[in-house]
């Protein structure tokens, strides 16, 4: 399940994902939110929290495909991305592939979510 988080500036899409992430989560929540931010702007910032019940096996294949398509279709539009999670495998994967993202990308553990929010806004 994915939900939009409130309290962020208009140029930041902030979401919390936990448990099973579906194609609908991407197509009805994340993609429209990013498209809305990009109306009238050239860049978007993404704050992405992954909760304790998230696992790679809890992502439907359609969600994985939409995640990939979203990254590619907006490739030059990512100003910065922060992923907040206690899943070490997610943080390590992002660090390995960070060179593929043209904007800034960082990871934080959940205990530093306040710092992550400050970083994505700053």
Maximum separation of any 2 CA atoms in the chain, in Å: 36
- The 3-state DSSP class for residue 34 equals helix
Check residue 12 and give its pLDDT.
97
In this prediction, residue 66 carries a pLDDT of: 44
Q: What angle do CA 101, 73, 39 make, to 5 degrees?
A: 100
The predicted model scores a pTM of 0.85
Q: DSSP label at 26?
A: I
For 6-36, how does the pLDDT look when each residue is reduced to its tens digit (9 = 90+)?
999 999 999 999 988 887 888 899 889 999 9
Domain 2-121 fold is Transcription Regulator spoIIAA (3.30.750)
- pLDDT for residue 46: 93
What pLDDT does 77 receive? 80
pLDDT at 120 over 90: yes
CB atoms within 10 A of CB 83: 19
Q: Where are the domains of the chain?
A: 2-121
The residue whose two tokens read 């993609």 is: 31
With beta carbons less than 8 A apart as the criterion, state whether 52 and 86 touch: yes
Q: Give the pLDDT score at 102.
A: 76
User: Using one digit for the tens of pLDDT, what is the confidence trace for 48-91?
Assistant: 999 998 866 555 455 554 454 455 455 568 799 999 999 888 88
Q: Other CB atoms closer than 10 Å to residue 39's CB: what's the count? A: 6
Q: How would residue 106 be classed by pLDDT, with cut points 50, 70 and 90?
A: very high
């Amino acid at each position: 399940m994915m939900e939009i988080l409130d309290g962020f500036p208009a140029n930041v899409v902030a979401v919390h994902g936990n448990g099973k992430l579906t194609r609908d989560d991407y197509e009805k929540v994340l993609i429209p939110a990013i498209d809305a931010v990009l109306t009238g702007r050239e860049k978007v910032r993404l704050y992405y929290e992954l909760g304790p019940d998230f696992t790679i096996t809890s992502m439907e294949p359609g969600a994985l495909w939409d995640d990939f398509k979203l990254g590619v279709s907006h490739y030059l539009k990512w100003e910065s991305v922060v992923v907040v999670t206690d899943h070490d495998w997610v943080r390590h994967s992002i660090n390995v592939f960070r060179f593929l993202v043209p904007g800034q990308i960082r990871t934080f553990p959940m205990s530093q979510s306040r710092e992550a929010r400050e970083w994505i806004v700053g």
